[in-house]
Amino acid sequence: MPEKTVELEKPGAVEEIALDGFDHVEFYVGNALQACYYYHRGFGFDLVGYRGLETGDRENVSYVMKQDHVTIVLTGSLKPDGPIGEHVRQHGDGVKTVAFKARDARKAYETAVKRGAVSVAAPVEHATENGAVITASVKTYGDTIHTFVERNGEAEGFLPGFKKLEQKSQGDVGLVHVDHIVGNVEKDKLLHWVKFYEDVFGFYVYQYFDATDISTQYSALVSKVMANKSGNIKMPINEPADGKRKSQIQEYIDYYTAPGVQHIAVTTRDIIKTVSELKKRGVDFLGVPRAYYDSLSERVGHIDEDIEELAKLGILVDRESDGYLLQIFTKPVQDRPTLFFEVIQRKGAKGFGKGNFQALFDSIEREQALRGNL
């Protein structure tokens, strides 16, 4: 195992695929209309695009949701059979596609496949009056895929075939962009997927955590953060570690029935305002014992925020050499104890809140115990 360190940057063995961040995240869901309502009303996303029966799609329905630089697509099947319906049957609501902004989607796809990635969809150019969008996809862990998206010219909307909408929410909650997306994989598969992102995408290990960093008396996990050199894509990967009882990662895999996206971290410029508004709208977060805040000043030093406000909301704080960060985690956002969200505000810190891992792990295990799955 490599030495645990933040920003373990070094030249990769292969040239990095040229990517400029996350383009969108697509969910496969059992009821896209109801999921749209949840993210529209609860998380403050605007509805900006639609595809379905009214646009000529007889198989599927999709809603495109946007808030600042965060775009999610909620897709459901109009028929009981087919890949989307089967995905939902197997996994429940969950992330199917993590899409990247590609400077050259064809080259990105051809490079990935040449390096061993399994093709899902060859490059397709979607022409419009004002430009074009090129997409291509490859497989990653479980049934999750990565799509390369190249947008040229002044192409409007999400993709051709989608009807452009302007249905504003009751006000956004201050979410800005996707910070990182975390995947859970089976035990002893972490190194396989680390090598995949190194050899196929040219990513490197940005940070590494072992069971001494993330554990309780019952369970533990191991995690490596894969990133591109510019840092606009970070993809942590977790696997369960040996423990007396079931790890939260194993619980996820049992209920998702496969490896998959565990959580999506989204940044905000004012986490107190964002979390306060999310709670007003009914979004549930993991709880943190009040004792966590009794020694917070000693652990992290001076911060701009009022500690009592943070305690009231359950927001965690961690300091690093470059500054500090604030973060909080929702409870699962669907029936199965699988996918959840993180809200994060960075004030110089570039890591992932290592100092909060124990408090977070304990909170998740309390929820596991309530579900009878610990």
Identify the structural domains of the chain with CATH numbers, from first to last. 19-167 (3.10.180.10), 175-371 (3.10.180.10)
In the prediction, which pLDDT does 317 show?
A: 93
H-type alpha helices, the chain: 32-41, 83-91, 105-114, 190-196, 248-256, 271-280, 291-294, 296-300, 307-313, 357-371
In the prediction, which pLDDT does 287 show?
A: 87
- What one-character DSSP code corresponds to residue 118? P
pLDDT at 8 over 60: no
Tokens 């490197």 locate to: 204
Backbone angles phi, psi at 113, to 5 degrees: -65, -40
Provide the pLDDT confidence category of residue 128 given band limits of 50, 70 and 90.
Answer: confident
In the prediction, which pLDDT does 120 show?
A: 98
d(CA 346, CA 90): 36
**Closest C-alpha among 164, 129, 127 to residue 50:** 164
pLDDT at 127 over 70: yes
In the prediction, which pLDDT does 4 show?
A: 46
Which carries the bigger pLDDT value, residue 58 or residue 291? Answer: 58
In the prediction, which pLDDT does 3 show?
A: 37
d(CA 291, CA 10): 40
In the prediction, which pLDDT does 240 show?
A: 87
In the predicted model, what is the mean pLDDT of residues 11-33?
92
In the predicted model, what is the mean pLDDT of residues 19-41?
98
pLDDT at 362 over 70: no
d(CA 253, CA 259): 6
d(CA 274, CA 62): 27
Cα–Cα distance list, 325 to 70, 238, 300, 318 (Å)? 20, 21, 10, 6
**Closest C-alpha among 265, 237, 272 to residue 253:** 237
Tokens 């030495």 locate to: 3
d(CA 189, CA 162): 38
CB 108 within 8 A of CB 17: yes
- Across the strands, what pairs with 342? 265, 329
Share of residues in the chain with pLDDT > 70 (%): 88
In the prediction, which pLDDT does 218 show?
A: 57
Q: Strand pairing of 145-153 and 131-139? A: antiparallel
Provide the pLDDT confidence category of residue 129 given band limits of 50, 70 and 90.
Answer: confident
pTM: 0.92
Please say whether the dihedral angle defined by the alpha carbons of residues 16, 19, 20 and 23, taken in this order, is positive or negative: negative
Pick from 176-190, 245-259, 341-355 the range whose average pLDDT is largest. Answer: 176-190
Backbone angles phi, psi at 354, to 5 degrees: -55, -40
In the prediction, which pLDDT does 374 show?
A: 59
The predicted-structure confidence for 321-338, as pLDDT tens digits, reads as follows 899 999 999 999 999 999
Provide the pLDDT confidence category of residue 316 given band limits of 50, 70 and 90.
Answer: very high
3-class secondary structure, 363: helix
Could you give the dihedral angle defined by the CA atoms of residues 26, 345, 360 and 238, in that order, rounded to the nearest 10 degrees?
40
In the prediction, which pLDDT does 6 show?
A: 45
Provide the pLDDT confidence category of residue 5 given band limits of 50, 70 and 90.
Answer: very low
In the prediction, which pLDDT does 349 show?
A: 93
**Closest C-alpha among 370, 366, 364, 140 to residue 240:** 364
pLDDT at 363 over 70: no
The predicted-structure confidence for 213-258, as pLDDT tens digits, reads as follows 655 555 577 889 999 999 999 999 999 887 656 678 888 999 999 9
The predicted-structure confidence for 145-182, as pLDDT tens digits, reads as follows 999 999 987 666 788 889 999 999 999 999 999 999 99
Provide the pLDDT confidence category of residue 10 given band limits of 50, 70 and 90.
Answer: low
The predicted-structure confidence for 72-120, as pLDDT tens digits, reads as follows 999 999 998 899 999 999 999 999 999 999 999 999 999 999 999 999 9
CB 163 within 8 A of CB 55: yes
d(CA 64, CA 53): 15
pLDDT at 371 over 90: no
